[in-house]
Amino acid sequence: MPRLRDLPTRICRRPGPVPGRVRTRFRATAVRPAVAALLCGTVLAGCAGPPERGPERDRSASSAPSPVPDPLWDRSPSSLAAVGDSITRGYDACGLLADCPEVSWATGSDPAVDSLAVRLLGAKGAAARSWNLARSGARMAELPAQMERAAARKPALVTVMAGANDACRSSTAAMTPVAEFRTGFAEALRRLRATAPTAQVYVASVPDLKRLWSEGRENPVGKQVWKLGLCASMLGDADDLGPAAERRRALVDARVRAYNAALREVCAADERCRYDDGAVFAYRFTGEQLSPWDWFHPGRDGQGRLAALAHRIVTDARPAPPGRR
């Protein structure tokens, strides 16, 4: 009978009959390959190369560890103050040329909107611990004063939606310069930190005004309201598609994008600030989400969409930046 150390070489080369008594005891031809495979695979696994790893092992080896949540961001803030402009005041959402704060995306009580405050605090909590300090028509220059009033409430979260009125002017020449816009926002955060250093800040991007013009210009009622001077830099001469009108709208669009870049940069320098990464700007509002009175401001449905966007970002378990892990 061959010695054990000789078996692997012979079997791996040719899985034929084993001499001696092995040949007489195992006549079933189906067994011979099985014995050969067993000896080759278990006695000396290196004979046919290492076995492949199973899919479960591959998955566990490649799975990344769970991200560490940012320790400076509370996803369940206990109170909320809102600053900004007409969008946060629910302007033209319930009637023509009037505020309607009960449908505000930030602090409203209307169940159809399900505002950010209601989502975070519940209906009773929102009524007791949320404050709408925005003003229709406000520009970035007013935000520092609004932020001071918000800070006095010592809110856990402050929402910011401002900038549309800085671009919506009588002409493109009257638009707020980008440097001035950036300085105003930085000053607003500085004043907040002076009184409420641990308050969190959610910053919404400026909406895409050019898309709102494109969507609303098909509605004759909305265009009549636009003629009253609503955002003339973008909405004026709504049906004029000539080169001069297109250049004017392109200038407004570029300024809005620059404002959003400034909001992102200033917010990134504050460890308790979250910018929406352009979510509001990118949202494709349609007639269903716009005010039926001016076809420019968000209606009830649009306010609800803004609330959902804000809630997703405020409650997102984002990983902490490398320096804060």
For 205-238, how does the pLDDT look when each residue is reduced to its tens digit (9 = 90+)?
999 999 999 999 989 988 999 999 999 999 999 9
Query: What pLDDT, on the 0 to 100 scale, is given for residue 319?
Result: 75
For the chain, the structural domain boundaries read: 4-59, 80-316
pTM of this structure: 0.78
Lowest mean pLDDT among 115-129, 180-194, 208-222, 259-273: 208-222
Give phi and psi for 215, each to the nearest 5: -75, -40
DSSP secondary structure code for residue 148 in this structure: H
Please answer whether residues 189 and 275 qualify as being in contact, where contact means their C-beta atoms are separated by less than 8 angstroms: no
Q: What is the mean pLDDT of residues 266-295?
A: 96
Query: What pLDDT, on the 0 to 100 scale, is given for residue 71?
Result: 80
Query: What pLDDT, on the 0 to 100 scale, is given for residue 218?
Result: 87
Residues with Cβ within 8 Å of 73's Cβ and at least 6 positions away in sequence, in order, are 200, 272, 274, 318
Secondary structure class of 159 (helix, strand, coil): strand
Secondary structure class of 60 (helix, strand, coil): helix
For 77-135, how does the pLDDT look when each residue is reduced to its tens digit (9 = 90+)?
999 999 999 999 999 999 999 999 999 999 999 999 999 999 999 999 999 999 999 99
Q: What is the mean pLDDT of residues 29-46?
A: 39
Instruction: Name the more confident of 132 and 70.
Output: 132
Query: What pLDDT, on the 0 to 100 scale, is given for residue 64?
Result: 56
pLDDT surpassing 90 at residue 69: no
For residues 189 and 193, give the distance between their C-alpha atoms in angstroms, rounded to a whole number.
6
- The percentage of residues in the chain with a pLDDT greater than 70, rounded to a whole number, is 77
H or E stretch including 131? Answer: strand 130-132
| CA-based R_g, the chain, Å | 33
Query: What pLDDT, on the 0 to 100 scale, is given for residue 318?
Result: 80
Q: What is the mean pLDDT of residues 280-299?
A: 95
What's the mean per-residue pLDDT of the chain? 84
Lowest mean pLDDT among 4-18, 203-217, 229-243, 308-322: 4-18
Query: What pLDDT, on the 0 to 100 scale, is given for residue 66?
Result: 58
In this prediction, residue 321 has a pLDDT band, given cuts at 50, 70 and 90, of low
Secondary structure class of 117 (helix, strand, coil): helix
DSSP assignment string, 176-220: PPHHHHHHHHHHHHHHHHHH-TT-EEEEPPPP-HHHHHHHHTT-H
Query: What pLDDT, on the 0 to 100 scale, is given for residue 102?
Result: 98
Instruction: Name the more confident of 11 and 96.
Output: 96
**CATH homologous superfamily for the domain 80-316:** SGNH hydrolase (3.40.50.1110)
Query: b/e for 39-48, b at 16 or more Cβ within 10 A?
Result: bbeeeeeeee
Cα-based angle 212, 214, 217 (whole degrees, multiple of 5): 95
Query: What pLDDT, on the 0 to 100 scale, is given for residue 105?
Result: 98
pLDDT surpassing 80 at residue 16: no
Query: What pLDDT, on the 0 to 100 scale, is given for residue 39?
Result: 35
Give, in order, the Cα–Cα distances in Å from 188 to each of 182, 195, 196, 321.
10, 12, 12, 23
Please answer whether residues 120 and 80 qualify as being in contact, where contact means their C-beta atoms are separated by less than 8 angstroms: yes
Instruction: Name the more confident of 120 and 69.
Output: 120
Query: What pLDDT, on the 0 to 100 scale, is given for residue 91?
Result: 97
Structure tokens at 160: 């910011």
Residue type, 278: G
In this prediction, residue 41 has a pLDDT band, given cuts at 50, 70 and 90, of very low
Instruction: Name the more confident of 96 and 199.
Output: 199
- The percentage of residues in the chain with a pLDDT greater than 90, rounded to a whole number, is 74
pLDDT surpassing 70 at residue 152: yes
